[in-house]
Chain A
Amino acid sequence: METLRDFERDLEEMREYYSHGKTKEASWRKTQLKGLLTLLKEKEGDILNALKQDLGKHQIGILIKTLNLALDSLRGWMSGRKAKLPQIALLTSAEIVPEPLGLVLIISSWNFHFGLSLEPMIVALAAGKTVVLKPSELAPASASLLATATSTYLDNKAVKIIQGGPSVGEQLIQQRWDKIFFTVGSAHVGRIVMSAAVKHLTPVTLELGGKCPAVLDSLSSSWDIKVAVKRIVHGKFGCCAGQACRAIDYILVEKKFTRTMMELMKSMIKEMFGENPKESPSIARIINKQHLLRLKNLLKDPHVDASTVFGGSVDKDNLFIEPTILVDHPLQAEIMTDEIFGPLLPIITPEKIEDSIQFINSKPKALAIYCFTKNKTLQRRMISETSSGSVTFNDTIIQYAADTLPFGGIGGSGFGRYRGKFSFDTFSHEKAVTRRSFLTEFWFRFPPWNNHKFQLLAFTFNYDYLGLVLVILGLKSYRQGLNDI
């Protein structure tokens, strides 16, 4: 592991490298993106292996899509936007120029290690910056793969991977950055990062988590019910075994509809993960013993234990927890206060589905709300009366795949947004640039000031061009004095 002095020198070198302006060139950015693309294609097998070692996971997500998007859109993203000006601003032009922020720190999380590490990195490179990535030490296989792979495929002077535990992370956030992009999930660590960023006034993007609810309306068509339950099961257990910041945390469903849903859910779990889910390659492990014990403790509460209607077995040696469903456990239980981040699914049963809005509002703002309903009024109310990072109707997780939508939290679930063009904006400073000519000038802008000038300015600011011309030509007299405007 590197010592503090070592990476301080590294960072100094990177800043120096950045200041030469090479990373700002479109061609450099393109080369890096292409390098990443080759990395993903050539190392796909290794990546899958590493993921399997760390989590028993299977797919690599949608990085290639982001890469292609970045490659295709780079020109468009990089060019400035013209801003509209009033007519009076003759011979003046204004534009917003996206400017790279310099040196960024990305601290990624273990649950979607490659996704959460490379996704921000792709766009940071597209935005022309130098990047330090600190992968999570909790998923060591993918962390070291990231380190070796990036050093072969990317510009070493501009991209550095620094591995290590919390102490390294702590030292890193003390350094001077131009942006810190942080996805670890806990609001607690988010606070620490933001407090450290104060020292150098570094803007931060925090992608945290929160308890994401899924609201299931009493659907009438059996096909709809089936599809909804399938998507819920996938959005909980099929999503890194619930260890995802946007995975479903709990379900809200009407009391009378609970039985129908439960039956379907049980059969769906069997269909997807087999009779014995422990043997299934399609469900992820728990990341480590500590997390497993935390989850086990949540189940220990006697009231919670009593409400377990499905699953509940824990295999400490294989770091496996069976998909577990709890119905109507006490609402003040610990499982309802913190983000669960595991394959435990509490079900809450209000009398009317509309009551779920109030329930959601009583909790901190979530990263996502999932709502299964065909009722347009409920859809509208869900959008306007609750607050969350995103709302998805009739599906789960998939909103992340829509790169035209910003991904990011609000309140306790973080701030700042990314995905696609939004990531580019997150890593860029929008510099306002105005160009003026020496040819047009309003003499009345300058002191010494008198009522005449004042009147002209008042017309100018009201865009009253006729009045302006009339006063200049002396055809209109100014009635007002300086102090009774």
Chain B
Amino acid sequence: MNISMELLRNFSSVGAGASREFSYPFTRKTKQRQLSFVYLSRTSYSFKSCSATLSLTAEVEEKPKLDVDKAALLARELRKTFNSGRTTNYEWRMSQLKSIEKMLEEKENDITEALYKDLSKPGLEAFVAEISQVKSSCKLALKELSRWMIPEKVKTSLTTYPSSAEIVSEPLGVVLVISTWNFPFLLSLDPVIGAISAGNAVVLKPSEISPATSLLLSNLVEEYLDQSAIRVVEGSVDETTALLEQKWDKILYTGSARVGRIVMAAAAKHLTPVILELGGKCPSVVDSNINLQVAVRRIIYGKWACNNGQACIGVDYIITTKDFAPKLIDALRYELEQFFGKDPMESKDMSRIVSSSHFARLASLMDDDLVSDKIVLGGQRDVNQLKIAPTILLDVPEDAQIMQEEIFGPLMPILTVEKLEDSFKIIQSKPKPLAAYLFTDDEQLKKNFVQNISSGGMLINDTILHVATDGLPFGGVGESGMGSYHGKFSFDAFSHKKAVLYRSFNADASIRYPPYTTQKQRLLKAVINGDIVSLILALIGR
């Protein structure tokens, strides 16, 4: 453990150069395609780094902390940059986005490495769920930015004739992005890309629960991006509090509803608009008339192959009919074995639980007296490796803790109902989730589901994929958050839509001005209503 501490310290002090050297041997070995061997060695390594993680936090404490004064200084510096107009410039935005793209090309290994350290995230999952998503966001912004920035011309009406009008997208100023640990890379850089493309200066605060990625982000941003306008602040509660004291022009927070409230309360002091990306219990309703194999694979993909359930849009629980449940469980059992092998605890294709406190929380959910006898599959756990096997629980009671909070882990309760329509009531009785999934071939059921279930996003017959669609907004409703981003929506989220109206001095109608006579009032009403007949009548004085 001491050794790994040393390594980590080197890593942190020397920065990217050291980390590249450090990760090199592993890369080499993969080239020989001795996958299992590599993973074995990497697992043990990551295990070491995990215990070192705790000491690392202590080490961060020793560093000069970001207190309120320093945070204020930081905010002032960035505001100065913003006020100079530097970030508003199109060329600047493009150059920063290009740097991010370059960074993604050059540092892909380091990123995968850091994600592995923090979460044992499988390389492929890191690529699919994080790196490639950031890449495509960046690419889209680079391609579309010039178009997004063009003011939108709008029609004007008779009331303001003659005039022309447009909506100008204006950067908001200096924005704060507070991200989280489950997709620490994606959820940090995706909003930052939005903020940059809209022309803002930005401070990013990555999560201290994923320290390797946090450190890497800090180093990479320093190396690749404009320090006068884009900064990373590492740290935990104290640093976040110091940052929240400052006045920002927008705050985007990803995480829990509890902290979301703290962020919003802090924002209220400065009347700062917020985007809150929270979570919730995302249900998956499964009908019996489906292609079971495909559906089950997709459900597994959306639960265990998605950061082992530690995702805000991951499937939280399943609702199906009583008759169908046994079939569904059999299929899940079979496909899980196909994916993760006979002993899932040995699988290298599954992330681990992020921290011991989260592990303890999940363990207590399983040990709850109300549910401990409901486990029909899995249940194995290893506190040393912070691993929990895919676990399925059948017919857990509604009042069990596992149905009260977001699970955020590899436990999957299955609720059964007599008729599938009854599932709506269960979902509606809970706070609105970030995503809702439905597997069915019944068109009417699809329609009812879309109509009656309120959730941030909705995906029929698949999981997770809807967030990879740039054309769709990603955001919650109710307890799952407010505001949305992704693609063009990110640009809009970090822009102010300024209404601009151009009038000429010609055609100045005297009816607008006092003294207001009865005839003027009639005329004005006719103009506003666009009522040509009464307009003429009023004009000829009838």
User: How would residues 473 to 498 of chain B score, 1 for a CB under 8 Å from any chain A CB and 0 otherwise?
Assistant: 11101110111100000000000111
Contact of B268 among A24, A195, A391, A446 (CB under 8 A): A195
Q: Check B375 for interface membership: any CB of A closer than 8 A.
A: no
Binds A, one of B322-330, B399-407, B449-457: B449-457
Q: Check B538 for interface membership: any CB of A closer than 8 A.
A: no
Q: Check B276 for interface membership: any CB of A closer than 8 A.
A: yes
Q: Check B44 for interface membership: any CB of A closer than 8 A.
A: no
**Which chain A residue lies CB-closest to B457?**
A432
A482 and B30 contacting across the interface, CB-CB below 8 Å: yes
A391 and B529 contacting across the interface, CB-CB below 8 Å: no
CB distance from B41 to the nearest CB of A (A): 12
CB distance from A15 to the nearest CB of B (A): 11
User: How would residues 10 to 28 of chain B score, 1 for a CB under 8 Å from any chain A CB and 0 otherwise?
Assistant: 0000000000000000110
Q: Complex: how many Å from CA A405 to CA B166?
A: 7
A201 and B271 contacting across the interface, CB-CB below 8 Å: no
Q: Check B291 for interface membership: any CB of A closer than 8 A.
A: yes
Known: A194-B267, A410-B496, A429-B477. A435 touches B469 (CB 8 A): no
**Which residues of chain A (406-436) have a CB below 8 Å from chain B?**
406-408, 410-412, 414-417, 429-436
Contact of B498 among A228, A238, A391 (CB under 8 A): A391
A433 and B460 contacting across the interface, CB-CB below 8 Å: yes
Q: Check B355 for interface membership: any CB of A closer than 8 A.
A: no
A484 and B339 contacting across the interface, CB-CB below 8 Å: no
Q: Check A172 for interface membership: any CB of B closer than 8 A.
A: no
A454 and B498 contacting across the interface, CB-CB below 8 Å: no
B500 and A481 contacting across the interface, CB-CB below 8 Å: no
Binds B, one of A131-139, A159-167, A379-387: A379-387
Interfacial chain B residues near A230, Cβ < 8 Å: 508, 513
Q: Check B535 for interface membership: any CB of A closer than 8 A.
A: no
Known: A59-B521, A65-B528, A404-B154. A85 touches B471 (CB 8 A): yes
Known: A194-B267, A234-B514, A453-B124. A390 touches B498 (CB 8 A): yes
B349 and A435 contacting across the interface, CB-CB below 8 Å: no
Q: Complex: how many Å from CA A392 to CA B164?
A: 10
**Which chain B residue lies CB-closest to A388?**
B498
A484 and B135 contacting across the interface, CB-CB below 8 Å: no
Contact size range, B:
35 or more
Q: Check A9 for interface membership: any CB of B closer than 8 A.
A: no
B515 and A461 contacting across the interface, CB-CB below 8 Å: no
**Which residues of chain A (437-485) have a CB below 8 Å from chain B?**
437-438, 441, 445-451, 453-454, 457-458, 461, 481-485
Binds A, one of B181-189, B206-214, B256-264, B366-374: B256-264
Q: Complex: how many Å from CA A407 to CA B514?
A: 25
CB distance from A349 to the nearest CB of B (A): 22
Known: A272-B514, A390-B500, A483-B30. A447 touches B473 (CB 8 A): no
Contact of B514 among A280, A390, A393 (CB under 8 A): A280
Known: A404-B155, A404-B165, A417-B497. A58 touches B268 (CB 8 A): no
Binds B, one of A92-100, A116-124, A150-158: A92-100
Q: Complex: how many Å from CA A190 to CA B272?
A: 11
CB distance from A417 to the nearest CB of B (A): 7
A394 and B30 contacting across the interface, CB-CB below 8 Å: no
Q: Check B519 for interface membership: any CB of A closer than 8 A.
A: no
Q: Check B180 for interface membership: any CB of A closer than 8 A.
A: no
B109 and A485 contacting across the interface, CB-CB below 8 Å: yes
CB distance from B229 to the nearest CB of A (A): 17
**Which chain B residue lies CB-closest to A443?**
B297
Q: Check A322 for interface membership: any CB of B closer than 8 A.
A: no
Q: Check A198 for interface membership: any CB of B closer than 8 A.
A: yes
B30 and A481 contacting across the interface, CB-CB below 8 Å: yes
Q: Check B357 for interface membership: any CB of A closer than 8 A.
A: no
CB distance from A240 to the nearest CB of B (A): 12
Interfacial chain A residues near B290, Cβ < 8 Å: 438
Interfacial chain A residues near B530, Cβ < 8 Å: 65, 68
Q: Complex: how many Å from CA A131 to CA B479?
A: 20
Interfacial chain A residues near B165, Cβ < 8 Å: 399, 402, 404-405
Q: Complex: how many Å from CA A230 to CA B514?
A: 10
Q: Check A206 for interface membership: any CB of B closer than 8 A.
A: yes
Contact of B461 among A199, A238, A437 (CB under 8 A): A437
Q: Check B305 for interface membership: any CB of A closer than 8 A.
A: yes
Q: Check B94 for interface membership: any CB of A closer than 8 A.
A: no
B460 and A401 contacting across the interface, CB-CB below 8 Å: no
Contact of A483 among B27, B456, B505 (CB under 8 A): B27
B502 and A191 contacting across the interface, CB-CB below 8 Å: no
Q: Check B426 for interface membership: any CB of A closer than 8 A.
A: no
A398 and B160 contacting across the interface, CB-CB below 8 Å: yes
Q: Complex: how many Å from CA A102 to CA B452?
A: 12
Contact of B341 among A96, A203, A448 (CB under 8 A): A448
Q: Check B95 for interface membership: any CB of A closer than 8 A.
A: no
Interfacial chain A residues near B484, Cβ < 8 Å: 430
A228 and B505 contacting across the interface, CB-CB below 8 Å: yes
Q: Complex: how many Å from CA A191 to CA B268?
A: 5
Known: A273-B514, A404-B154. A483 touches B109 (CB 8 A): yes
Q: Check A224 for interface membership: any CB of B closer than 8 A.
A: yes
B478 and A273 contacting across the interface, CB-CB below 8 Å: no
Q: Complex: how many Å from CA A221 to CA B295?
A: 73
**Which chain A residue lies CB-closest to B124?**
A449
Binds A, one of B50-58, B67-75, B167-175, B414-422: B167-175
User: How would residues 264 to 295 of chain A score, 1 for a CB under 8 Å from any chain B CB and 0 otherwise?
Assistant: 00000000111000001111000000000000
Known: A59-B524, A433-B460, A448-B349. A394 touches B503 (CB 8 A): yes
Interfacial chain B residues near A414, Cβ < 8 Å: 271
A206 and B271 contacting across the interface, CB-CB below 8 Å: yes
Q: Check A178 for interface membership: any CB of B closer than 8 A.
A: yes
Q: Complex: how many Å from CA A84 to CA B469?
A: 8
Interfacial chain B residues near A282, Cβ < 8 Å: 514-516
**Which chain A residue lies CB-closest to B111?**
A485
CB distance from B26 to the nearest CB of A (A): 6
Q: Complex: how many Å from CA A204 to CA B157?
A: 29
**Which chain B residue lies CB-closest to A396?**
B503
Q: Check B78 for interface membership: any CB of A closer than 8 A.
A: no
**Which chain A residue lies CB-closest to B504?**
A394
Q: Check B512 for interface membership: any CB of A closer than 8 A.
A: yes
Known: A405-B165, A438-B294, A484-B109. A394 touches B347 (CB 8 A): no
Q: Complex: how many Å from CA A407 to CA B154?
A: 14
Known: A415-B273, A457-B127. A430 touches B473 (CB 8 A): yes
Q: Check A389 for interface membership: any CB of B closer than 8 A.
A: yes
**Which chain B residue lies CB-closest to A234?**
B513
Interfacial chain B residues near A199, Cβ < 8 Å: 261
Q: Check B156 for interface membership: any CB of A closer than 8 A.
A: yes
Q: Check A339 for interface membership: any CB of B closer than 8 A.
A: no
CB distance from A484 to the nearest CB of B (A): 5
Q: Complex: how many Å from CA A31 to CA B237?
A: 52
B462 and A392 contacting across the interface, CB-CB below 8 Å: no
Known: A58-B521, A433-B460, A447-B122. A389 touches B515 (CB 8 A): no
Pairs across A and B, CB under 8 Å, 7 listed:
A199-B261, A398-B503, A406-B497, A436-B462, A437-B461, A447-B339, A483-B30
Chain B residues close to A by CB (< 8 Å): 26-27, 30-31, 33, 35, 38, 83, 85, 88, 108-109, 112, 122-125, 127-128, 132, 135-136, 154-157, 159-160, 163, 165, 167-168, 170, 172-173, 249, 257, 260-261, 264-265, 267-269, 271, 273, 276, 278, 290-291, 294-295, 297, 300-301, 305, 338-341, 347, 349-350, 428, 441, 446, 450-452, 454-462, 465-466, 469, 471-475, 477-479, 481-484, 496-505, 508, 512-516, 521, 524-525, 528-530
* New contact pairs (17) apart from A417-B497, A434-B462, A435-B460, CB-CB < 8 Å: A83-B472, A198-B268, A201-B261, A228-B505, A231-B508, A238-B513, A282-B514, A387-B170, A393-B502, A402-B154, A435-B459, A446-B300, A447-B124, A447-B349, A449-B349, A454-B124, A483-B123
